[in-house]
């Protein structure tokens, strides 16, 4: 691995996307952001959609910029995105309308409707996936009910990273980690659940058999290669779900750790060799998603820094706050005045996030935060306490003890949240790398091209080069009292 190699990783989130040039040189990996661009849902006729054409245009621009700054040549390209959302292709290979976005509110009703005809217990037994209203299973049920003509015309269903890889290569595949988010994959068999496909009434032919991360899909289309001044480099299916790429790059050893992939969403869990599907894991609403090397990401979704992002958006008309300024505001506010349940439906996509936070506190009989500082303090403390709640549940079912938490992704830069996390959970929080997803994407490409031997080599390489910050627990009695109050506002089965 002494030869210098360069790869382009496109990491697309619900708020923005980036083109990252990753270079392996002398056993180290260096990342350079060459293009950043916004990504936003489009409201059209009362429905929320994504615009993959706009994303593709930004990907083309990112490839041009990567080619311009890397005269030594680029070896491959790969795309990772958020989970569950998908596009449909017609028989001529064209996109049948804009893909729906997971925050479209029709999905809440669709989940309830589907579970009326197909038992919740059976769905979990077949998939091991936690119940979230935006899972692809329920999105497809909504589509079959409201837009059946799209499914009738569809030749292929491609999840978002697979769709964008198709635009790059002309090859249609489904990568396993992104497919695992759908609540349609049987993790024991590694393929689609025929029972759920039949219950949806969709044609199985539109679904592609999943391929493992680290698969070469095809090569850059000739016209695109010419436009970007690149040769026909390989297009790779890395771990295409962003969290799968991030977890692949956790700089950990042993098995006594948990992770929080911290961004718009917080995905908190452990890594296991096999799915954990029991009545207890169903009751606790844990999910079994695919990871690098056939591993399972046993985790739970927690609404993450979406709370802060949407507060910033709501306040943008009056004042322009940076995320560091918002963090400092939270630091200066009084502690433990009020809490929210981050996963409450109130916070899925409210028109005014600060108002939603105030209303939740009012409805639950707590002090209502009156200032931006108080609202942000409430949000960050509540996130840390939600992590404690997930950790308690993880410990009930984990085959290994959990002695530290690795916080990876953009949220690891939020020093206030990391400090709160260590104190709330009572174990060290190890923060970094910030660019875990991009690292996992880049090194997944290196694995596909034979530059790395195994997924373990990815983690070892990151561990050798990472410089994490360790946050130790503090203020134990105050956080324990806060946790007792936090649990009182959670829904009780």
Nearest partner of 129 among 383, 342, 301, judged by Cα: 301
Residue 80 lies in a domain: yes
Domain that holds residue 339: 250-432+453-493
Answer for the pair 383, 342: CB distance below 8 angstroms, yes or no. Answer: yes
> Residues 237, 254: one domain?
no
Residue 481 lies in a domain: yes
Whether 242 is catalytic = yes
> Residues 195, 256: one domain?
no
Strand partners, 348: none
Nearest partner of 458 among 29, 20, 14, judged by Cα: 29
Residue 462, pLDDT > 50, answer: yes
Domain boundary, last residue among 186, 209, 242: 242
Which residue out of 242, 341, 346, 393 is catalytically annotated?
242
> Residues 184, 54: one domain?
yes
> Residues 167, 267: one domain?
no
Residues in the chain: 493
Residue 447 lies in a domain: no
Angle at 148 between CA 146 and CA 153, to 5 degrees: 145
> Residues 205, 267: one domain?
no
Residue 135 lies in a domain: yes
User: Cα separation of 444 and 196, whole Å?
Assistant: 31
Distance linking the first and last C-alpha atoms of the chain: 53
Kindly indicate the confidence band of residue 188, based on its pLDDT and cuts at 50, 70 and 90.
very high
Residue 1, pLDDT > 70, answer: no
Answer for the pair 338, 378: CB distance below 8 angstroms, yes or no. Answer: yes
Helices in 170-236 by DSSP H: which ranges?
176-179, 194-200, 222-228
24: tokens are 């392996």
User: Cα separation of 126 and 185, whole Å?
Assistant: 8
Over residues 240-252, mean pLDDT: 97
Domain boundary, last residue among 191, 223, 242: 242
Residue 149, pLDDT > 60, answer: yes
- pLDDT, tens only, 410-447: 999 999 999 999 999 999 999 999 999 999 999 999 99
Kindly indicate the confidence band of residue 253, based on its pLDDT and cuts at 50, 70 and 90.
confident
Residue 461 lies in a domain: yes
> Residues 31, 120: one domain?
yes
Residue 442 lies in a domain: no
Q: Count other Cβ atoms within 10 Å, centred on residue 320.
A: 9
> Residues 223, 265: one domain?
no
> Residues 190, 314: one domain?
no
- pLDDT, tens only, 324-336: 999 999 999 999 9
Specify the 3-state DSSP secondary structure of 205: helix
> Residues 201, 90: one domain?
yes
pLDDT at 415 (0 to 100): 98
Answer for the pair 202, 151: CB distance below 8 angstroms, yes or no. Answer: yes
Q: What is the CATH number of the domain that holds 115?
A: 3.30.420.40
Residue 443 lies in a domain: no
User: Read out DSSP for 432-443?
Assistant: --TTHHHHHHHH
> Residues 213, 290: one domain?
no
464: Cβ contacts below 8 Å, ≥ 6 apart? 27, 28
> Residues 486, 423: one domain?
yes
Measured CA distances, 250 to 280, 321, 453, 470 (Å): 27, 31, 17, 14
Pairing of strands 210-211, 174-175: parallel
Handedness of CA 30, 454, 440, 420 (dihedral sign): negative
Residue 439 lies in a domain: no
Residue 2, pLDDT > 60, answer: no
- Give pTM, 2 decimals: 0.93
Residue 465, pLDDT > 90, answer: no
pLDDT at 493 (0 to 100): 61
Over residues 281-300, mean pLDDT: 96
The better pLDDT of the pair 425, 492 is held by 425
> Residues 330, 205: one domain?
no
Kindly indicate the confidence band of residue 483, based on its pLDDT and cuts at 50, 70 and 90.
very high
User: Cα separation of 68 and 458, whole Å?
Assistant: 27
What total number of domains does the chain contain?
Answer: 2
Domain boundary, last residue among 242, 260, 289: 242
In a 10 Å sphere around its CB, with 0-12 CB exposed, 13-18 middle and 19+ buried, how is residue 255 labelled? Answer: middle
- pLDDT, tens only, 9-64: 999 998 899 999 999 987 889 999 999 999 999 999 999 999 999 999 999 999 99
114: tokens are 């589907």
- pLDDT, tens only, 71-130: 889 999 999 999 999 999 999 999 999 999 999 888 889 999 999 999 999 999 999 999
């Amino acid at each position: 691995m002494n030869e210098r190699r360069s790869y382009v990783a496109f990491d697309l989130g619900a708020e923005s996307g980036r083109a990252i040039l990753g270079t392996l040189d002398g056993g180290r990996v260096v990342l350079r952001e060459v293009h950043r661009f916004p990504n936003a849902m489009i409201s059209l006729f009362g429905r929320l959609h994504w615009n993959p054409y706009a994303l593709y245009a930004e990907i083309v621009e990112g490839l041009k910029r990567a080619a311009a700054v890397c005269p030594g040549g680029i070896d491959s390209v790969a795309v990772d995105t958020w989970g569950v959302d998908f596009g449909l292709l017609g028989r001529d290979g064209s996109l049948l309308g804009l893909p729906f976005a997971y925050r479209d509110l029709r999905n809440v009703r669709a989940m309830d409707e589907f579970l009326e005809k197909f038992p919740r217990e059976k769905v979990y037994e077949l998939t091991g996936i936690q119940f979230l209203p935006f899972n692809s299973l329920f999105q497809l049920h909504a589509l079959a009910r409201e837009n059946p003509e799209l499914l009738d015309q569809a030749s292929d269903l491609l999840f978002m990273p697979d769709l964008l890889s198709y635009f790059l290569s002309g090859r249609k595949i489904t990568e396993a980690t992104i497919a695992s988010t759908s609540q349609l994959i049987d993790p024991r068999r590694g393929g689609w659940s025929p029972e759920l496909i039949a219950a949806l009434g969709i044609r199985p032919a539109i679904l592609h058999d999943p391929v493992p991360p680290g698969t070469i899909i095809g090569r850059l289309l000739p016209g695109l290669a010419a436009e970007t001044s690149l040769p026909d480099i390989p297009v790779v299916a890395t771990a295409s779900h962003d969290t799968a790429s991030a977890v692949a790059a956790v700089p950990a050893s042993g098995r006594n750790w948990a992770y929080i992939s911290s961004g718009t969403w917080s995905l908190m869990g452990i890594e296991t060799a096999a799915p954990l599907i029991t009545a207890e894991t169903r009751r606790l609403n844990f999910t079994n998603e695919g990871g690098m090397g056939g591993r399972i990401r046993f985790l739970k979704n927690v609404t993450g820094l979406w709370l802060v992002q949407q507060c910033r958006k709501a306040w943008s008309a009056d004042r322009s706050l940076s995320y560091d300024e918002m963090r400092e505001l939270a630091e200066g506010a009084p502690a433990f005045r009020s809490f929210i349940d981050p996963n409450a439906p109130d916070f899925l996509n409210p028109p005014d996030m600060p108002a939603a936070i105030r209303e939740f506190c009012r409805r639950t009989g707590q002090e209502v935060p009156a200032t931006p500082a108080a609202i942000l303090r409430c949000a960050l403390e509540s996130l840390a306490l939600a992590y404690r709640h997930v950790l308690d549940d993880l410990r009930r079912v984990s085959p290994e003890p959990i002695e530290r938490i690795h916080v990876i992704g953009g949220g690891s830069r939020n020093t206030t949240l990391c400090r709160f996390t260590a104190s709330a959970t009572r174990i060290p929080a190890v923060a970094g790398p910030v660019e875990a997803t991009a690292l996992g994407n880049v090194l997944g490409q290196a694995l596909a091209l034979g530059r790395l031997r195994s997924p373990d080599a990815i983690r070892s390489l990151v561990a050798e080069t990472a410089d994490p910050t360790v946050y130790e627990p503090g203020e134990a009695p105050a956080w324990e009292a806060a946790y007792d109050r936090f649990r009182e506002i959670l829904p009780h089965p």
